[in-house]
Structure formats: structure tokens, C-alpha cells
Amino acid sequence: MHHQPYSDRRRKVLARLGDGVAVIPTAPERLRNRDAHYPYRFDSYFWYLSGFPEPEAVIVLVGGKEAKALLFCRERDQEREVWDGFRYGPQTAAEAFGFCEAHPIASLEAKLPELIANRSVLWHSLGHDPMWDGRIAAALNRIREQGRSGIRAPTEIRDLHSLLDDMRLTKDAHEIECMRRAADIASAGHARAMRACRPGMAEYELEAELSYEFRRRGADGHAYTPIVAGGVNACILHYVENNKLLAAHSLVLIDAGCELAGYASDITRTFPVGGRFSTLQREVYEIVLAAQQAAIDAVRPGASFMDYHQAALRILVQGLIDLDVIAGSVDGAVESEAYKPWYMHRTGHWLGLDVHDVGDYRNGPETGDWTRLAPGMTLTVEPGLYFAPGTKIPTHLHGIGVRIEDDVLVTADGCTVYTSAPKAVAEIEEVMRHD
């Protein structure tokens, strides 16, 4: 375990705490049913500052002149390790993950009031976890009970997540490398699904191809529930049943990404089940592809988060006019939002430890200005067009849904596209050739 990136982040947070104390718990284990648990996934904020993978763990960052980072974690337990696997224990964890001190998690309740006492600010994210809100309140009340002894409780509670969100928005070199690897693995998974696709297959068979490639290449699994949507199902933005058969002359939309070392990739590809686009499918696809390229070209330092959405939107609106779906001018359709029945989402979102990652999209209610892009920010670019049956459009468009999504890093002079799954028409059809 290389702990330096995590230690560096903790030092940055400590420098901003003043004489305050921050408490960052990881996620609890979640019961699936009876005595079976869901696969464990740590809290993203906790992971960002530790890289420590075990449940029942808490970071306490103590600011001030003698600033220090403490880890509370499970002790070694020979019997439980026989059943559940290796535990670091406090001593080994402190060394392996670069903490000043580590203590048994069982000692936290007694130590927490001592660590918080006589500090002016407690950094804790109220409302994120009701159980932890209660534990923090209990610790504060224990301190207040000692008021006659001259011991005082913090007079201010600040939101730690807002501080960490600002840090997490700009990725460091370690994060960028993790995300590159996650993007490479996810790209290979999408290419595998294209090669495997045959008419008559079930959507879940393509999902299985993705899962196999993700795990085969070392990913921890899916970053989110995958969407494998054949035909009209592609017009349902969050379709996850993945249990229908793939018709020969339809398209299939796959929105799937893997998670690696906590970091998500997020890719969408749309391709013909039979291996070749029809003339109409290709026409719609090329509109979306051109919109995506226009959006990627608009991702650069200093541009606002909305700029690349607007760049994609204008291409999509012109495409809807060319398809005789809407009438009038591009400017008029954009202003009236006449496109909304067929393009109802924005062109992307932040990406990182969470698929829809943290970070403000607007700078604040005072200005209403969209966040300006800066090197190190990572986002998705994912325009689409969706022609669900029943909408007032030419019937030959009914059931066509297309989305194309890539992961993009803002660089000093523009941007870099992380993801490399096939997306040009000729490239997709070549990958899917079965002769």
C-alpha cells in the first residue's frame, strides 16, 4: 500500500482546520438479508483521506500546532480472521497507511470527547449519517457535563464535506492514474460486449460479458448498476432490468463502468445488434456523435460547466430539425426547449470516487455562474437522443435511443479523453464483424 497520496491529502485538510477537530467515519457494513451482507464498500470521503479498506474505522484529524491524524480501527482477532479474513489491527494500520497514531475502534467512545474538548470548531457533516450525528451529540454532551471543571465544548460545527468536496473536484496525479486504468478496463469491457453481441441474446448476457472483462482485468466490479438496453428500452434513461431479448435490427445501448481502487469509470456505447447500422440508425447516431465531439472540443480551462452542454445541444437541435422532429431555428428551439421530449438530460457530470462525483456545478447563489473548468477536473460527456414510441414524431424513428459517453480530463491546454471503446460507425461495425 502506497499511502503517500492519502497522507498528503490529510495534511492539506489539517492545514485548513485551524485548531479544530474533524471526524470522518467510514461506511458501515450493510445487511442484505438475514445474515448475508452486501459486498462491502467504504465511504468515499473516508477512503479519499486514508485508502484504508476495512469497515468499523474512523479518522480523527486534530488541528493546531501539534496537528496529527489518528485512525481508529478493529483490533486483530484470530477467530474472526479465520471466518472473515485478515485485519490490519491498529499498529500495522498506522504504519501501512501513514497515520501518526492508531487505536482500537472500541476506545473511540471514550477518547472522542477528549479529542474534541477545548477546540473551537468541530468539523462534522450533519445529516450524512444519523447514527453518527447521535454519537457526535453524545460526545458533545459529555464535554458539556464537565463545564464546571473549565472544559468547554466546540462552539461551532462546520460541514467537513464542503471542504472535502472542493478538494475532490480537482484530481491529483494518483487519482488520474487510477481513473485512467479504470477507463481502460471499462473500454475493454464495452469492446468485448460488441464482439459478443448476436441477435436473440438476452441483455443480461452482454452484462455478463462486461462483468467478466471488468473482473478479469482486476477491477473491483461495476461502479454502478449497468444499463443494457435493447431497442425501445434505450429510451428509458435508467433501465436496469436487462432481461429482454435483443432483436436483430435494433440498437442496444450499454451504459456501464467499472470501479478500481475506489474510482469510477462511466461509458455509454450504442451499437447495432446485428453488427451493421441501418441508414436511419446511422443518421441518428452520427448526430449524437457530432454533438459529443462538439462538446469535447468545448472542454477546456476557463470554460464554464454549461459551455460544453450548450455546444452539444446546438448540434442535437439541428439534428432534430433535419429529422423533421421539430421545426424552426436552432436558436428558437434552444430558447423554447422544444428539444426536451427527446433530449431531457444534461451533457455530463463530475466523475471520481462517486459516479456522480462531488463538487459544485455553480459557484454560488449570488452570481449563479456555472463553475469554470480547471486542469485536473474530470467529467463525463454524454449527449443522446431518445425517440420513445407514442411521441409526436415520424413513426420510423420510434424506438431508437442513442447515447454516447466518454470520461474526460481537463488539462492545461484543453482536455484528454480517458475512454477508448469503439465509437465511430466504421470502427464499431469492424469490431462486430463475425466472419
> Residue 279: its pLDDT value, please?
97
Confidence of residue 296 (pLDDT cuts 50, 70, 90): very high
∠160-164-165 over CA atoms, to 5°?
Answer: 115
The pLDDT value recorded for residue 321 is 97
Please say whether the beta carbons of 210 and 226 come within 8 A. Answer: yes
Query: Which residue in the list 34, 238, 433, 434 is annotated as catalytic?
Result: 238
Q: Is-catalytic flag, 308?
A: no
Helix ranges, 197-235 (H): 203-216
Q: Is the pLDDT of residue 57 over 80?
A: yes
DSSP 281-349: HHHHHHHHHHHHHHHHHT--TT-BHHHHHHHHHHHHHHHHHHTTSS-S-HHHHHHHTTTTTT--S-S--
The reported pLDDT for the residue numbered 147 is 76
Residue 364: pLDDT band by 50, 70, 90 thresholds? low
State residue 366's pLDDT score.
Answer: 52
At residue 356, does pLDDT exceed 70? yes
Instruction: Tell me which of 74, 168, 309, 403 is the catalytic residue.
Output: 403
Active site residue 75: no
Q: Which three cell numbers stand for residue 52?
A: 484504508
- Give the other-Cβ count within 10 Å of 347's Cβ: 28
Q: What is the band of 1 on the pLDDT scale with cuts at 50, 70, 90?
A: low
Catalytic residue, chosen from 6, 239, 263, 386, is 386
**116-153: pLDDT as tens digits:** 999 999 999 988 899 999 999 999 999 998 877 889 98
* 256 pLDDT higher than 60: yes
Q: Report the Cα–Cα distance between both ends of the chain, in Å, rounded.
A: 46
Predicted confidence band of residue 434 (pLDDT cuts 50, 70, 90)? confident
Give ranges for CATH 3.40.350.10 in the chain: 4-167
N residues, the chain: 435
Which amino acid is located at 374 in the chain? A
- Regarding the domain delimited by 170-431, which CATH topology (the fold level of the hierarchy) does it fall under? Creatine Amidinohydrolase (3.90.230)
CA dihedral angle for residue 5, residue 6, residue 10, residue 11, rounded to 10 degrees: -30
Mean pLDDT, all residues of the chain: 95
SS3 402: strand
Which of 405, 406, 407, 418 is an active site residue?
A: 405
Residue 82 has a pLDDT of 95
Return d(Cα 219, Cα 192) in angstroms, integer. 15
Higher per-residue confidence, 362 vs 240: 240
Q: Catalytic one among 80, 249, 356, 372?
A: 356
Catalytic residue from among 217, 314, 345, 398: 345
User: What pLDDT is recorded for position 368?
Assistant: 64
- For residue 133, indicate whether it is catalytic: no
> Which position among 43, 184, 203, 266 bears the catalytic label?
266
| Residue 365 pLDDT > 60 | no
Of residues 175, 207, 213, 255, which has the active-site annotation?
255
Domain with CATH 3.90.230.10 in the chain: 170-431
Q: Could you give the C-alpha distances from 357 to 44, 163, 166, 265, 325, in angstroms and in order?
A: 10, 14, 11, 11, 34
Q: Is 249 helix (H, G, I), strand (E, B) or coil?
A: coil
> What is the per-residue DSSP string for 359-379?
S-SBS-TTT-PBPBP-TTBEE
Active site (annotated) includes residue 366:
no
Are 74 and 104 in contact by the 8 Å Cβ rule? The answer is yes
Chain segment 367-426, per-residue pLDDT in tens: 568 999 999 999 999 999 999 998 778 899 999 999 999 999 999 999 999 999 999 999
- 239 among known catalytic residues: no
Q: Which fold has domain 4-167?
A: Creatine Amidinohydrolase; Chain A, domain 1 (3.40.350)
Instruction: Over range 40-57, report the average pLDDT.
Output: 97
Query: Tell me, what amino acid is at 235?
Result: C
In this structure, what is the dihedral angle of CA atoms 246, 252, 255, 257, given to the nearest 10 degrees?
Answer: 70
Q: Is 357 a catalytic residue?
A: no
To the query of whether residue 37 is one of the catalytic residues in this protein, the response is no
Catalytic site includes residue 35: yes
266 given a catalytic annotation: yes
Catalytic residue among 213, 259, 354, 382: 382
